[in-house]
Amino acid sequence: MTTRNYSYAALAIPLALAATVLLGVRRDVTYGAEPSGETSEMTIQVVIKNMGFHVMGYGREGNPTSIVVRNEDGVTHGFYSPLFKEVPVRLEGDGYQITGKDGPAFRVDPGKTMTLHFTKGSATAPLTMMSPLMRHVIWCDMHPDIKGEVFIIERRG
């Protein structure tokens, strides 16, 4: 049986080439930086169906967020959250805004869809100085039994 002595240099070259291929080294990417300084809009889908909110998706603090509200019920529904008192909201689509006793609320008629655009800034928990998971309640201001939650997740790890 013959034993061959391979030098470490002979192994280093193929390993370096394999690492380069696996890591996909690119000269046009700066790692750890935002590619263009823009952040993409996060989308939360809310379907109102069978007299309930069905929420899919989440937002991230500091990122533009859109909540797409689709009313599949046969009656007009309201869409309110204390979050809307904290941030400016831009409305698109078939909904309309009202001013209620608790602040701005939005309404959407049967079979219609509206989109609410906003950016929620970060919040710091007073004791931990960490950014918490922000859970925002939502409810129909016309039908108080219809409630739900939307989540805005912290950006930092």
For 81-125, how does the pLDDT look when each residue is reduced to its tens digit (9 = 90+)?
988 888 899 999 999 999 877 789 999 999 999 999 999 875 555
Res 76: pLDDT: 97
- Full set of structural domains in the chain with CATH: 42-153 (2.60.40.420)
Res 101: pLDDT: 77
pLDDT at 19 over 80: no
Res 27: pLDDT: 42
Q: Please report, rounded to a whole number, the percentage of residues in the chain having pLDDT higher than 90.
A: 45
- pTM (predicted TM-score): 0.68
What's CA 97's distance to the chain center, in Å?
23
pLDDT at 40 over 90: no
Average pLDDT across the chain, whole number:
78
Work out the average pLDDT over 62-78. 95
Work out the average pLDDT over 142-146. 91
- Residue owning tokens 């034993």: 3
Dihedral angle sign, alpha carbons of residues 70, 71, 76, 81: negative
